[in-house]
Structure 1
Amino acid sequence: MQTIVFATHNQNKMKEIKNIIKNIPGMENIRLISMAEAGITEDIVEDGNTYEENALIKAKYVCERTGMIALADDSGTEIDALDGQPGIYSARFLGEDTPQVVKNAYILDKLKGLPNKRRKARYMCCIAAAFPDGTTKTTMGTLSGIIAHKISDGTNGFAYDPIMYIPEFGKTMADMTMEEKNDISHRGQALKKMSVVLLKKLNDK
Structure 2
Amino acid sequence: MPRLVIGSHNKKKLVELSDLLKDLPFEVVNLDSFMSVEDVEETGTTFEENARLKAVAYAKATGQWTLAEDSGLVVPALKGRPGVYSARYAGTHGDDAANNKKLLAELAPLPADRRAAYYVCVAILAAPDGEVKAVSEGRCNGVILTDARGTGGFGYDPLFLIPEFHQTFGELSLRVKQALSHRAKAVAGLRPALRAIANNQ
> Under a length normalisation based on structure 1, what TM-score does the superposition of the two structures give?
0.90
1:151 maps to 148
CA distance in 2, matches of 1:19, 1:142: 19
Superposed CA RMSD in Å reads 1.8
1:7 maps to 7
Residue in structure 2 matching 1:52, options 36, 48, 54: 48
The reply on whether 1:86 has 2:82 as its aligned counterpart is yes
CA distance in 2, matches of 1:40, 1:170: 44
Residue in structure 1 matching 2:61, options 54, 57, 65: 65
Give, as a single letter, the amino acid of the residue that structure 2 aligns with 1:85.
R
CA distance in 2, matches of 1:116, 1:184: 23
Report deviation, 1:43. 1.7
CA distance in 2, matches of 1:66, 1:186: 26
1:186 maps to 182
The reply on whether 1:120 has 2:97 as its aligned counterpart is no
1:139 maps to 136
Give, as a single letter, the amino acid of the residue that structure 2 aligns with 1:194.
L
Report deviation, 1:117. 2.4
Give, as a single letter, the amino acid of the residue that structure 1 aligns with 2:78.
L
Report deviation, 1:173. 0.5
| Paired positions, count | 200
Give, as a single letter, the amino acid of the residue that structure 2 aligns with 1:149.
T
Partners of 2:145 and 2:160 within 8 A in 1: yes
CA distance in 2, matches of 1:36, 1:158: 19
Structure 1: segments with no counterpart, 5+ residues: none
Q: Structure 1 vs Structure 2: percent identity of aligned residues?
A: 35
Give, as a single letter, the amino acid of the residue that structure 1 aligns with 2:68.
A
> Under a length normalisation based on structure 2, what TM-score does the superposition of the two structures give?
0.92
CA distance in 1, matches of 2:130, 2:37: 23
CA distance in 2, matches of 1:190, 1:142: 8
CA distance in 2, matches of 1:184, 1:116: 23
Give, as a single letter, the amino acid of the residue that structure 2 aligns with 1:132.
P
2:158 maps to 162
Give, as a single letter, the amino acid of the residue that structure 1 aligns with 2:166.
G
Report deviation, 1:16. 1.2
CA distance in 2, matches of 1:171, 1:100: 19
1:19 maps to 19
